[in-house]
């Protein structure tokens, strides 16, 4: 091989190395929360996270839920009783990262003792959030704010103030706030939560609505979810004084796969594809669902709601749709 050929080979090698680094960097730059479906290790028969990743193609997983441990103070623990370190949850995080992916840790949820209600000061609540962030060197956290944390103005005020402090102390940390919604968008309490956050100049990475369990019957869950997202964007645009397009880029959706808690509601794969398509058009900051545990067909009927979706589907069908979402 002559000098010119060797020089050409060397140049091409450098180019391919740089291209590979650019592609890897581009993949790493995808926000953890962008496409990370929920898995709840304290519920049903959860699939091993490594299996979820290998079979569905998702890059990241949202693990739920961190609550307040029983007793005095406001110590964070998985489901309120499993330790942060040395248990199955820490092992799951290690397995996710061993696969080259990452984890978003979710606080709160439907039941249990919420840190925002138990911690009686902003500083104590901020310290509890920080303890979890430090335990796993997290790049993303999610606050699934429901019940007393959501309805009680003092509790939700503590949550917002504590998250604002966490944001200042952890530059670059992704923070999502996830809440219920009406079919037309956030209800009065949800709208107040957004307004209260804007009033203290707190702007999380993404505001996420959960468009299910509406109460009144909803037969078309795809379009019902889209209407809820339109209402969320309007609320964000008004509270933060931004355009609708910018509001969508700080909005997110967390659906429920298959049959929901309401007998009249079923989120089909077609519905979820419609939601994902809407998310892509408007560059939503988050597309997720509850939950991976349910992302498989039921072996029999009736079956536990925590173990399957209740509809005909392939295993990890919903997760695979999320895996294809890149904003």
Catalytic residue annotation: 146
173 with 139: CB under 8 angstroms?
Answer: yes
141 with 103: CB under 8 angstroms?
Answer: no
274 with 226: CB under 8 angstroms?
Answer: yes
User: What gap in Å lies between CA 129 and CA 177, rounded to an integer?
Assistant: 14
User: What gap in Å lies between CA 206 and CA 209, rounded to an integer?
Assistant: 10
User: What gap in Å lies between CA 319 and CA 316, rounded to an integer?
Assistant: 5
Q: Assign 3-class secondary structure to 128-164.
A: HHHHHHHHHCCCEEEEECCHHHHHCHHHHHHHHHHHH
Q: What are phi and psi of 260, to 5 degrees?
A: -95, -170
DSSP 48: P
The DSSP secondary structure of 56-75, one letter per residue, reads H--SEEEEEEEEEPSSSS--
Question: 3-class SS at 80?
Answer: coil
205 with 285: CB under 8 angstroms?
Answer: yes
User: What gap in Å lies between CA 76 and CA 197, rounded to an integer?
Assistant: 23
Place of tokens 């997202």: 229
* 211: its two tokens: 């468009």
67 with 107: CB under 8 angstroms?
Answer: yes
């Amino acid at each position: 091989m002559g000098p010119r050929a060797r020089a050409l080979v060397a140049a091409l090698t450098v180019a391919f190395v740089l291209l590979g680094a650019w592609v890897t960097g581009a993949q790493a730059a995808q926000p953890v929360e962008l496409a990370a479906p929920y898995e709840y290790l304290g519920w049903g028969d959860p699939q091993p996270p490594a299996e979820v990743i290998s079979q569905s193609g998702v890059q990241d997983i949202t693990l739920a839920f961190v609550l307040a441990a029983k007793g005095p103070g406001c110590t964070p623990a998985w489901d309120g009783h499993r330790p942060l370190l040395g248990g199955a949850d820490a092992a799951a995080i290690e397995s996710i990262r061993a696969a080259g992916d990452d984890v978003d840790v979710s606080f709160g949820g439907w039941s249990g003792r919420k840190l925002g209600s138990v911690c009686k000061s902003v500083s104590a609540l901020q310290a509890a959030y920080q303890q979890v962030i430090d335990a796993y060197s997290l790049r993303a956290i999610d606050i699934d704010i429901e019940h007393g944390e959501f309805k009680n103005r003092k509790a939700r005020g503590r949550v917002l103030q504590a998250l604002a402090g966490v944001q200042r102390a952890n530059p670059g940390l992704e923070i999502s706030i996830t809440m219920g919604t009406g079919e037309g968008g956030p209800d009065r309490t949800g709208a107040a939560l957004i307004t209260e956050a804007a009033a203290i100049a707190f702007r999380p990475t993404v505001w996420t609505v959960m468009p299910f369990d509406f109460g009144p019957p909803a037969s078309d869950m795809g379009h019902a979810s889209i209407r809820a997202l339109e209402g969320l964007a309007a609320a964000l645009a008004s509270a933060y004084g931004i355009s609708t397009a910018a509001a969508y880029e700080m909005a997110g959706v967390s659906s429920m796969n298959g049959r929901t808690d309401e007998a009249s509601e079923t989120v089909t794969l077609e519905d979820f594809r419609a939601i994902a398509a809407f998310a892509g058009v408007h560059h939503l900051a988050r597309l997720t669902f509850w939950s991976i545990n349910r992302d498989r067909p039921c072996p029999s009927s009736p079956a536990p709601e925590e173990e399957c979706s209740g509809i005909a589907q392939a295993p990890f069908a919903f997760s695979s749709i999320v895996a294809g979402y890149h904003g």
